Structure 1
Amino acid sequence: MITPIAVRLTRGDDLKNAIQQLVTDHGIQAGSIASCVGCLTHLHVRLAGATETLLLNEPVELVSVMGTLTPDHQHVHLSVARQSGEVVGGHLLEGCTIDTTAELIIHHYHNLIFNREPDPQTRFTELTIGPPSQ
Structure 2
Amino acid sequence: METFESDDGHVVVRLDRGDMALESIEAACEAHDVDTGAVVSGIGTFSNLNIHYVDRTDLPDEQADRNVALELEGSWEVTNVGGAIADGEPHLHVTAFNGERTVGGHLEEGCEVNVLGEFTIRKFDGLSLTREPGEHSVSQLTER
Q: Is the shorter-chain TM-score for this pair beyond 0.5, marking a shared fold?
A: yes
Q: CA deviation at 1:2?
A: 5.2
1:112 aligns with 2:127: yes
Give the equivalent residue in structure 1 for 2:94.
78
Gaps of 5+ in 2: 1-6, 56-65
Relative to structure 1, the CA distance from residue 114 to residue 105 in structure 2 (aligned partners, 3 Å threshold; closer, same or farther) is same
Relative to structure 1, the CA distance from residue 105 to residue 72 in structure 2 (aligned partners, 3 Å threshold; closer, same or farther) is closer
* Contact in 1 for aligned 2:13/2:28 (Cα 8 Å): no
1:126 aligns with 2:140: yes
Structure 1 length as normaliser, TM-score?
0.88
Cα distance between partner residues in 2 of 1:51 and 1:111: 34
Q: CA deviation at 1:72?
A: 4.8
Q: Percent identity, aligned pairs only?
A: 27
1:51-70: CA deviations, max 9, x gaps?
Answer: 22011110010111111112
* Contact in 2 for aligned 1:77/1:89 (Cα 8 Å): yes
Cα distance between partner residues in 2 of 1:93 and 1:105: 18
| Equivalent AA in structure 2 for residue 73 of structure 1 | E
Cα distance between partner residues in 1 of 2:47 and 2:92: 18
Give the equivalent residue in structure 2 for 1:12.
18
Count of residues in Structure 1 that have an aligned counterpart in Structure 2: 128
| Equivalent AA in structure 1 for residue 92 of structure 2 | V
Indicate the SS of the match to 2:109: coil
Which of 42, 45, 62 pairs up with 2:48?
42
1:27-66: CA deviations, max 9, x gaps?
Answer: 1111101111110001000122442201111001011111
Cα distance between partner residues in 2 of 1:82 and 1:109: 34
1:92 aligns with 2:98: no
Gaps of 5+ in 1: none
Indicate the SS of the match to 2:27: helix
| Equivalent AA in structure 1 for residue 85 of structure 2 | L
* Contact in 2 for aligned 1:24/1:71 (Cα 8 Å): no
Q: CA deviation at 1:71?
A: 3.0
